[in-house]
Amino acid sequence: MRKNLARIFSSIILLTPLLVSVTTPAQAAVDPDSYAVMQFRDDVDPISGNYLYKVSGAKQTPCGSEYENLWDDPACAPATSTLQVYNYLPLCADEKVLNCIESVTWIKSDGSEVRGSFKESRGSVDPDFTFSRQEKFNVGASITPQIFTFAGLSHSKGSSYAVTGHVTQDIVNGTPSAPKIVASIAPVYSENVSLDDKEARTDCFNVNANDVKCWKFASSDSGVTFKLNMKLLTKPQGWISGRVTSPKVTISAADASKRFDVSISGANLSIPILTKRYDYSVAAEQSSWTKIAGAIKDLGAYTWEKISSVGGELIVPYGPNFFNTFNQLVAIDRPSDGKPAGVGKEYDVADRLAQVWRVVLDPTNTPSGVSGCAATDFQGFVSSNAMTYGTALPKYDGATMSYDVASPHYNPGGKDYDADAFKGRYDLLLTEAYAKCVWSLKDGVPNVSVEVQKTDGTLDNSVKVTGALNSTTGLYEFSAIGFTFSSPKIKIKLSAPPTKDGTPTVTQAAPATSQAAPAAKPKATVKSINCVKGKITKRVTGANPKCPAGFKKK
């Protein structure tokens, strides 16, 4: 049975631009209907579908091209191959042994919780991509993700929410690895669309491209808090990244089924989306694309003549990791040391905002620059609402953890630089043990520094920053709220407190006690001071904050 290779390609289209190498005559005539589309978006999960691949280096070969069950392909024998499985998490009501979703709840503004109700599965499994349960490899049968509803919660198109737990797992010579899980919750609706109506189906995000029932995204309010509860065979290790605000992570000990209870909660957030179309028949758009192709290295060869030669259309969808590409686009036509203008200004205004709730559990995720802090346990969580970022995780330079982000400066339709600015949000969690390892801290309450630098490198004092150890959860909680774009940098630093005779000094008061029982350990008291050095101002936060060398207290 021949596989649908177009469907395989569609699963990775958000990861790399659709660029096909071709050779065209230098003087070829351009089809007047030719056009190009540039898009930045991160509201669609980057990987979807049910697949079984054989992996050799960077090459993936689909298994089971002539078999009803993909495992029957002798070229993909698990005992002697490196395989990669794509599938979805089932509900724990149906799965008592392997990884599964226990429940999904909506947390209302008053703190009460509404448990989600399963409504239906999102589509069908393509018969060409069906595989059976292989419990010895920790793999369930191929399934599709779920649709839930929450009593009292609705959106622009109804009350259905797609709950998607996509799993990517390697099997190396018969040994399964810890899976990568991408979990998302999104407002959706469905409508029947003919398979022949390709234009109408461009917004479908179906698991099976052959399903007539087309699932599409709806719009909703941001700030809606959800909690996802999972049972996982492997305890989460390393970092979790995501698109949620005020994240909370709880990991409980393995139960009788030898699975860990993992709970992740947070509010959805709005992420800018850009979609720009350039038609050759419109002189201004023709000129704009010529500038873009000249500024972006990957697009340099895509003249109008070449686009015309490959069918007259070029679709370039970029994901959140194309940080440098976005910055290059915004710089087009910008005067020296000035604000974006011309073509670049078009990319500095969001076309729309998408509401996203997503978390990524990837056991291979480790920040660059950190050494000697093995990922044998959960270490941290990072999230932002930026359209793009320099790296998915913060970078450590030996002193600070920094995070580069970039987005359009303006909200959709925005014109006023201040009043219409899209405001950034950044959240970071670090376990106490991991923070002590990274910054070589011992006992005591360290000084905490959180700062946001503007695109020009100066400090943004208008941003609300917080950073402290939550003694209840054992997590350092950092946030930066209200910064503006195009390309700021968030920097986090912990430093040892003042010491006496080599022993770190704890500066907060000892917890009070009562006659009946010991009082709960309080959250560490945190103070903030502003430090000045010439024109540079830094805000330092901690139990006993001190200005860095060369700075004076303001």
Residues 312 and 387 in one domain: no
With b meaning 16 or more CB within 10 Å and e meaning fewer, what string describes 380-394? bbbbbbbbbbbebbb
* In-domain check, residue 52: no
Range 448-463 average pLDDT: 90
Range 283-304 average pLDDT: 93
Last residue of a domain, one of 322, 345, 368: 345
Res 514: pLDDT: 34
pLDDT > 90? residue 235: yes
* In-domain check, residue 325: yes
Res 543: pLDDT: 53
189 φ/ψ angles, rounded to the nearest 5 degrees = -150, 170
Residues 466 and 534 in one domain: yes
The pLDDT confidence band at residue 516, using thresholds 50, 70 and 90, is very low
Residues 327 and 418 in one domain: no
Q: Which residues contact 207 (CB under 8 A, 6 or more apart)?
A: 48, 49, 50, 88, 122, 123, 124, 125, 126, 144, 145
Residues 388 and 307 in one domain: no
Range 324-335 average pLDDT: 94
Instruction: For residue 260, count other CB atoms closer than 10 A to its CB.
Output: 18
- pLDDT, averaged across the chain: 86
The pLDDT confidence band at residue 17, using thresholds 50, 70 and 90, is very low
Distance from C-alpha of 238 to C-alpha of 479, rounded to nearest angstrom: 20
| Residues 305, 307, 313, 319, Cα dihedral to 10° | -150
Last residue of a domain, one of 296, 326, 345: 345
Res 528: pLDDT: 60
Res 297: pLDDT: 87
SS3 76: helix
Residue range 398-408, pLDDT digits in tens: 999 999 999 99
**Structural contact between residues 406 and 487, judged by C-beta atoms closer than 8 angstroms:** yes
Res 530: pLDDT: 67
Res 21: pLDDT: 37
The pLDDT confidence band at residue 539, using thresholds 50, 70 and 90, is low
pLDDT > 80? residue 520: no
**Structural contact between residues 541 and 534, judged by C-beta atoms closer than 8 angstroms:** no
Number of domains in the chain: 2
Res 474: pLDDT: 92
Res 44: pLDDT: 87
**Structural contact between residues 103 and 116, judged by C-beta atoms closer than 8 angstroms:** yes
* In-domain check, residue 91: no
Q: Give percent of the chain with pLDDT exceeding 70.
A: 85
Residues 417 and 538 in one domain: yes
* In-domain check, residue 472: yes
Distance from C-alpha of 383 to C-alpha of 426, rounded to nearest angstrom: 6
Res 456: pLDDT: 84
Res 28: pLDDT: 66
Residues 332 and 411 in one domain: no
Q: Dihedral sign, CA of 276, 282, 285, 290?
A: positive
| Residues 462, 464, 467, 473, Cα dihedral to 10° | -170
The pLDDT confidence band at residue 544, using thresholds 50, 70 and 90, is low
Range 2-13 average pLDDT: 34
Last residue of a domain, one of 320, 345, 370: 345
Residue range 75-97, pLDDT digits in tens: 999 999 999 999 999 999 999 99
* In-domain check, residue 192: no
* In-domain check, residue 365: no
Res 13: pLDDT: 31
pLDDT > 50? residue 363: yes
Residue range 165-184, pLDDT digits in tens: 999 999 999 999 999 999 99
Residues 279 and 324 in one domain: yes
Q: How far is CA 96 from CA 100, 307, 449, 484, in A?
A: 8, 52, 45, 47
Residues 335 and 472 in one domain: no
* In-domain check, residue 441: yes
Residues 302 and 427 in one domain: no
The pLDDT confidence band at residue 371, using thresholds 50, 70 and 90, is confident
Q: How far is CA 379 from CA 177, 370, 375, 490, in A?
A: 19, 12, 7, 19
Residues 331 and 457 in one domain: no
**Structural contact between residues 217 and 187, judged by C-beta atoms closer than 8 angstroms:** yes
Residue range 23-43, pLDDT digits in tens: 444 456 899 999 999 999 999
* In-domain check, residue 50: no
Residue range 188-226, pLDDT digits in tens: 999 999 999 987 888 899 999 999 999 999 999 999 999
Distance from C-alpha of 164 to C-alpha of 146, rounded to nearest angstrom: 6
314 φ/ψ angles, rounded to the nearest 5 degrees = -135, 120
Residues 452 and 410 in one domain: yes
Report which of residues 520 and 70 the model is more confident about: 70
Domain enclosing residue 282, as ranges: 17-40+272-345
**Structural contact between residues 171 and 85, judged by C-beta atoms closer than 8 angstroms:** yes
Res 553: pLDDT: 74
Res 20: pLDDT: 39
Residues 542 and 434 in one domain: yes
pLDDT > 70? residue 142: yes
The pLDDT confidence band at residue 422, using thresholds 50, 70 and 90, is very high
Angle, helices 323-331 vs 283-295, to 10°: value is 130
pLDDT > 60? residue 552: yes
The pLDDT confidence band at residue 550, using thresholds 50, 70 and 90, is low
The pLDDT confidence band at residue 107, using thresholds 50, 70 and 90, is very high
Q: Which residues contact 183 (CB under 8 A, 6 or more apart)?
A: 89, 163, 164, 165, 166, 228, 230, 264, 358, 359, 360, 361
